C-alpha cells in the first residue's frame, strides 16, 4: 500500500508546534500540582504537626515545673547540688599540705629540733623555728633549704625555696635557737601532680622533730602551723 502526504509543509509545522505546546502545558500542570502538593504538606507539618508537638512539650514543661516547685526545700536541694558539683574542682585546686611533713623531715638535720612551723599558702612563705646543738647545725639547715630541689612531671632540679633568711637566732653554751624564713614554689603543693624532693648531700639522718603535735596546727589567719 502506498501512502502520499498531501499536507503542505506549513500544516506539518503547525501540527508539530501544537504537540510541543501540549507537552509543555502538561509538564507545567504536573510541576504546578507537585509544588502545590509539597506546599500543602509543609503547611500541614508547620501549622498542625509542629503546633501539636510544641503544645505537648509546653504542657510537659509546665507539668514538671509545677512538680519541682511543689518539692519541699527545692532551693536548698539545688544549692547543695551546685556545691557538690564544684567539689571536684575545689579539691584539685587546694594545696596538698601533707607534703610539708615529708619535706620538713628531709631538710632538718639530726640534733635539730623544731618547735614551730608556719606555712602560709596564700603568700607562699614558710617560717621555721627550733633549737640546735650548735650554730653550725643551724647554718647547715639554712644551706639545705637553699639548695633543696624538687622534680615532677614537668621539671627536674627546680629549687624548692628562695629568699632563705636566718631571721633570728640566740646562742647559749648548750644550744642555739633560731627562726628561718623563706619563700617556696607553690608547685610543690600542687594536688594534681606528684612531687619528689631532692636534698643536697650532707644530711643523711633526719632529726626527731620537737613537739610534732603542735607543728601543723591551723591558726586563725588561715596559714598552717
pLDDT digits (tens, 9 = 90+) for 193-215: 889 999 887 554 444 343 333 34
Once rounded to an integer, what is the mean pLDDT over residues 43-67? 75
144-192 per-position pLDDT tens digit: 999 999 998 888 889 999 999 999 999 988 899 999 999 999 988 888 7
Q: What is the pLDDT of residue 205?
A: 42
pLDDT at 218 > cutoff 80 = no
Cα separation of 45 and 38, whole Å? 11
How many Cα atoms within 13 Å fall on the side-chain side of residue 44? 6
Closest CA to 197 of 106, 118, 95: 106
CB 104 within 8 A of CB 129: no
pTM for this structure? 0.52
Strand 196-198 to 112-120 pairing: unpaired
The percent of residues above 90 in pLDDT, for the chain, comes to: 27
Q: CA 185, CA 121: separation in Å to the nearest integer?
A: 10
What does the pLDDT read at residue 193?
A: 84
Amino acid at each position: 500500500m502506498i501512502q502520499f502526504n498531501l499536507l503542505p509543509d506549513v500544516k506539518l509545522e503547525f501540527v508539530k508546534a501544537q504537540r510541543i505546546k501540549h507537552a509543555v502545558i502538561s509538564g507545567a500542570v504536573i510541576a504546578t500540582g507537585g509544588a502545590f502538593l509539597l506546599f500543602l504538606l509543609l503547611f500541614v507539618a508547620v501549622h498542625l504537626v509542629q503546633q501539636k508537638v510544641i503544645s505537648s512539650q509546653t504542657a510537659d514543661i509546665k507539668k514538671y515545673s509545677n512538680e519541682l516547685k511543689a518539692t519541699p526545700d527545692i532551693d536548698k536541694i539545688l544549692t547543695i547540688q551546685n556545691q557538690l558539683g564544684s567539689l571536684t574542682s575545689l579539691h584539685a585546686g587546694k594545696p596538698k599540705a601533707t607534703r610539708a611533713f615529708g619535706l620538713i623531715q628531709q631538710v632538718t638535720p639530726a640534733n635539730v629540733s623544731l618547735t614551730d612551723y608556719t606555712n602560709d599558702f596564700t603568700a607562699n612563705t614558710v617560717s621555721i623555728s627550733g633549737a640546735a646543738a650548735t650554730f653550725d647545725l643551724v647554718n647547715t639547715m639554712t644551706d639545705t633549704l637553699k639548695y633543696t630541689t624538687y622534680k615532677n612531671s614537668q621539671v627536674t632540679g627546680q629549687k624548692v625555696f628562695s629568699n632563705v633568711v636566718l631571721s633570728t637566732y640566740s646562742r647559749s653554751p648548750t644550744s642555739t635557737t633560731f627562726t628561718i624564713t623563706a619563700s617556696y614554689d607553690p608547685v610543690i603543693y600542687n594536688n594534681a601532680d606528684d612531687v619528689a624532693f631532692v636534698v643536697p648531700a650532707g644530711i643523711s639522718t633526719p632529726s626527731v622533730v620537737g613537739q610534732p603535735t603542735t607543728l601543723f596546727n591551723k591558726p586563725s589567719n588561715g596559714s598552717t602551723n
